[in-house]
Amino acid sequence: MLTEKNKGIFFIILAAFFFSLMSLFVRLSGDIPSMQKSFFRNAVALVFATIILCKNHISFVPKRENLLLLILRAFFGTLGLFCNFYAIGKLPLSDANMLNKLSPFFAIIFSFLLLKEKVAPYQVICVVSAFIGTLFILRPGFDNMVTFPALIGLLGGLGAGIAYTMVRILSGRHEQSAYIVFFFSAFSCLASLPFFIFSYTPMSLKQVGFLLLAGLAASGGQFSITAAYSHAPAKEISVYDYTQIIFSSLWGILFLGEFPTTASIIGYVIICGASVAMFLIRRKREA
């Protein structure tokens, strides 16, 4: 019988796979404004979430006590999404996803600030180490063409970290996972709609197809990540989120001919190493 933690691990790895595919399809869609890509990505997720709500007879009206948390989750999730899509278009796929995968470290920080979860000294060391690793990807002062998109990618990781913390709080309040996805998708569609209408860029059938595939993959990832954090807290399963870097690096090599730079690889090793160390130390202390 699967424990709640094992279910969380399964869903977070599944989410990593789906989100890596989403990133690949977004890149393959070509030179289209990030807001336009975001609209398609969220529109598909919104359709799936609406179908699930109707099928399960779940109300579309948010619970008053959860409304603020839903808005915060949607706002920071949308911010993270916009930044991530911008970074995907400007950086190697693995770099963009690595910066976005700093979200678990941000989730630990905001779990401490918002949920008052205790943070042990070793966790502080691991978080600091992760941000040192980030400098190898940002490469400040060495390549200004890379630094700005990388900083935007880092901001995306911050937004995602806060959003996942909100998901954890909402799950603790027994909010339906499907409704969390629905609210976020609807909010993101409305936020990107003005840009979609007034700055629309014509697309080929092939580009539309890739964006629809990105939306399908994102839907799978969104439902999976929401399920993961509803089964277990971020501090117990976040390490497995880094499997997305493996998937993304593989897609980048196979489909885009992208090979990470030496500096980026060093950054990956430091960040992933910090995450693994944090996980192993926690497990030993609990044992």
Residue 276 lies in a domain: no
Question: What pLDDT shows up at residue 189?
Answer: 92
> Mapping DSSP to helix (H, G, I), strand (E, B) and coil, where does residue 257 land?
coil
Contact 33, 82 (CB under 8 A): no
How many structural domains is the chain composed of?
A: 1
Question: What pLDDT shows up at residue 195?
Answer: 84
- The pair phi, psi for residue 116, each rounded to 5°, is 60, 25
Residue 219 lies in a domain: yes
Residue 174 lies in a domain: yes
Sequence-ordered alpha helix ranges (H) in 102-176: 103-114, 121-138, 144-172
Quote the CA–CA distance of 140 and 148 in Å, as a whole number. Answer: 9
Residue 31 lies in a domain: yes
Handedness of CA 50, 55, 56, 59 (dihedral sign): positive
Residue 282 lies in a domain: no
Residue 127 lies in a domain: no
Please state the separation of Cα 78 from the chain's center in Å: 10
Residue 52 lies in a domain: yes
Question: What pLDDT shows up at residue 1?
Answer: 63
Contact 29, 37 (CB under 8 A): yes
pTM over 0.85: no
Contact 79, 138 (CB under 8 A): no
Quote the CA–CA distance of 99 and 208 in Å, as a whole number. Answer: 27
Residue 226 lies in a domain: yes
First to last CA, the chain: 20
> Mapping DSSP to helix (H, G, I), strand (E, B) and coil, where does residue 258 land?
coil
Question: What pLDDT shows up at residue 234?
Answer: 67
Domain range holding 103? 4-116+143-259
Which residues of the chain are under the pLDDT cut of 50? 142, 144
